Amino acid sequence: MLVHLTIKNYALIDDLNVTFSEGFTCITGETGAGKSILLGGLSLVLGKRADLSSLRDKSEKCIIEAEFEIGKYDLQSFFEKNDLDYEGHTIIRREIHPSGKSRAFINDSPVNLTVLAELGDRLIDVHSQHQTLRLADNDFQFMVIDALAGNRQLLENYRHLFSDYGKIEKELTVLIDRQRDEIKEHDYNLFLLKELEEAPLKEGIQQELEEQYEQLSNIENIMELLSQGFQLLNDEQIGVSNLLAQLKQVSNKLSGFGGLYADLNERIQSVVIEVDDIATELQSFHENTEANPQLLEDVNGKLQRIYDLQKKHGVATVSELLAIRNELDEKIAETESLDSAIVEKRKAVEVVKNAMEDVANTIHVKRRNVLPRLKEQLSKSLGSLGMPSASFKIEVQQANVFKTNGKDDLTFLFSANKGADFGELKKTASGGELSRIMLVIKAILAEYENLPTMMFDEIDTGVSGEISNSMGDIMQAMSKNMQVFSITHLPQVASKGNHHYKVFKVEADAVTKTQMKKLDENERIIELAEMLGGKQLSDSAIAHAKQLLN
């Protein structure tokens, strides 16, 4: 509910402060007095784009602030989603600076126009003759039917399922596409994996093979060196072993001259033993070393396979080849497991699809059952608005595809006169008829939905006194469930309001300003009398005005 509106430095408005109440509020004023300016200012806090030409004083900023009571609108989730402080009395402020910069705030938190417009749509519904084309919108027509059918919770459940269905189907498509792509690589990956598995790959194998290859390829040189080493140790004349034997005899004799020489003798004995052991090993190596061309060829073959694989995969170590082998193994296993994953995902899609089908069928039945009541309410209400022959052909047929709001196709046709063909609303109904139809539909919705504040902008233009009286009755009835505003030229409608405001222009210091005031009972009588008979008030006009109010 709109509680308070402040407008500063906008068009002809210098500084306007107005407080509003619940119920039915009528706003009147002469043509050009500024009723549209008031609505234009309000539209800025509802998210409309700003225009510098609307600044009254080009050197000062324009400020428009609206306070709303939002406790019954269930908007907590909106505030959480947009990281805003939720307050039962929420203030929206819009500033337009002379530089052209525009800023918007919700409870003092800056927001962009998209967020502002989204909130504005849920706070005020501005309805004029130019906006009746929404009647032809299929989504709006479904909204009306679903409101009467009480489908809100069902539709919420359906949309959750529809979202899950789309998500799971997308996951299934990804799996199928992935399988198709990976099947092309599967055989090649198997070939690569087989190459790596057949190669002699383990940690340290490359160094081991390279050392073995070095030994086998230099076997003759190694045998010669082993022989030389053995001869150096065991030559009869200059061999190390013979010389050490002589040294051993000397140290044995020295050891008898005290502990100092005994220790030296022990060390020499150790050297002799170690040299004897080395000589034995050199002899053994020499006896067991021989050329082995076949083994050399085998070792060389293994090394070449490792080198070829490293070059093929662009790596330098066996560790990296082992990592590639493991990766290929996992990839092949994943590809081969995709079949079962796809089967499971198809089952999940089918489960959600069946659940969605059940909810869509329930929605369809409830929509179909409510159509006779909707057509009856529309015809009855439009009859009181000068359209006694208005009739509707509304049909709901189940489609073969899931949509965002169920599985139904909707036909919503209208005929204004008896015997006339049914046709689409936007093609069959005139502007005035569309306004009346929209008024009736909004009145029906008000009985079933918690609608935002309704602002009717001169939708009664061009209608007769009797019909305008009925339009006023409908708006007055709507205001029992919601806040309703009507900007009107008709005294019959203005007299129905619980509150009456007048928009007027004043001139001061050669400057024209638009102002607005709430009328008391006597002021309402004068305003209605002027609307009935002009500025020259007559007794009959005043009497008629009193009669309308009473």
Query: For residue range 516-539, what is the model confidence (pLDDT) as tens digits?
Result: 999 999 999 999 999 988 888 888
How does residue 52 score in pLDDT terms, banded at 50, 70 and 90?
A: confident
Long-range contacts of 340-344 (CB under 8 A, 24+ apart): 341/175, 342/172, 342/175, 342/176, 342/179
pLDDT value of residue 115: 94
H or E segment to which residue 121 belongs: helix 113-121
Q: What average pLDDT does the chain have? A: 86
- Percent of the chain at pLDDT > 70 equals 97
Q: What are phi and psi of 146, to 5 degrees?
A: -70, -30
Mean pLDDT, residues 138-152 taken together: 92
**Structure confidence at residue 123 (pLDDT):** 92
pLDDT over 60 (residue 421): yes
Percent of the chain past pLDDT 90, that is, above it, reads 40
> Does an H or E element contain 457, and which?
strand 453-457
Q: Is the pLDDT of residue 132 over 60?
A: yes
DSSP state of 55: B
**What is the reported pLDDT for 533?**
84
The stretch 244-267 carries a mean pLDDT of 78
What pLDDT sits at residue 171? Answer: 93
The CB density around residue 214, as the number of other CB atoms within 10 Å, is 11
396-412 pLDDT per residue, tens: 999 999 999 999 999 99
What per-residue string of b and e applies to 152-177 under the rule 16 or more CB within 10 Å gives b?
A: eebbebbeebbebbeebbeebeebee
Predicted confidence at residue 66, as pLDDT, reads: 95
- Specify the pLDDT at position 287: 66
Whether the Cβ atoms of residue 88 and residue 34 lie closer than 8 Å to each other: no
Report the pLDDT value the prediction gives residue 6, as an integer from 0 to 100: 94
pLDDT tops 60 at residue 175: yes
- Give the pLDDT band of residue 104 (cuts 50, 70, 90): very high
Taken in order 437, 440, 445, 450, is the CA torsion positive or negative? positive
Q: Is the pLDDT assigned to residue 130 strictly greater than 60?
A: no
User: What pLDDT, on a 0 to 100 scale, did the predictor assign at position 221?
Assistant: 77
* Triad 76, 80, 86: Cα angle to 5°: 55
Query: In this predicted structure, what is the pLDDT of residue 126?
Result: 85
Q: Are 332 and 186 in contact (CB under 8 A)?
A: yes
Which pLDDT does position 395 carry in this prediction?
A: 93
- CA–CA distance, 40 with 42 (Å, rounded to integer): 5
Domain map of the chain by residue range? Answer: 1-123+452-519, 178-336, 522-550
H or E stretch including 105? strand 102-106
* pLDDT band of 288, cuts 50, 70, 90: low
For the residues 264-283, what does the mean pLDDT come to? Answer: 81
Give me the CATH code for the 1-123+452-519 domain, please: 3.40.50.300
Side-chain-facing half-sphere of 255: CA atoms under 13 Å: 14
SS3 label, residue 101: coil
Report the alpha-carbon distance of residue 503 to residue 427 in Å, rounded.
Answer: 36
- pLDDT value of residue 131: 62
Residue identified by tokens 């013979």 is 242
Average pLDDT over residues 72-101: 91
For the residues 491-520, what does the mean pLDDT come to?
90
pLDDT of amino acid 237 = 64
Q: How confident is the model at residue 420 (pLDDT cuts 50, 70, 90)?
A: confident
Average pLDDT over every residue of 197-213: 81
Residues 6+ apart with CB under 8 A from 148: 370, 373, 374, 444, 448
The full DSSP string for 122-139 is TTEEEEEGGGGGGGG-HH
pLDDT over threshold 80, residue 65: yes
Give residue 463's pLDDT band: very low, low, confident or very high (50, 70, 90).
Answer: confident
Statement: residue 339 has pLDDT above 90: no
The whole-angstrom distance between residue 97's C-alpha and the CA centroid of its chain comes to: 32
Read off the pLDDT of residues 439-460 as tens digits, 9 standing for 90 and up.
899 898 888 888 889 999 888 7
Residue 462 clears pLDDT 80, i.e. is over it: no
Is the model more confident about 165 or about 300? 165
Q: What is the pLDDT of residue 550?
A: 82
User: Is the model's pLDDT at 226 over the cut of 60?
Assistant: yes
Q: Per residue in 346-395, pLDDT tens?
A: 999 999 999 999 999 999 999 999 999 999 999 999 998 888 999 999 99
pTM, 2 dp: 0.68
Could you tell me if 476 and 2 are in contact, meaning their C-beta atoms sit under 8 angstroms apart? no
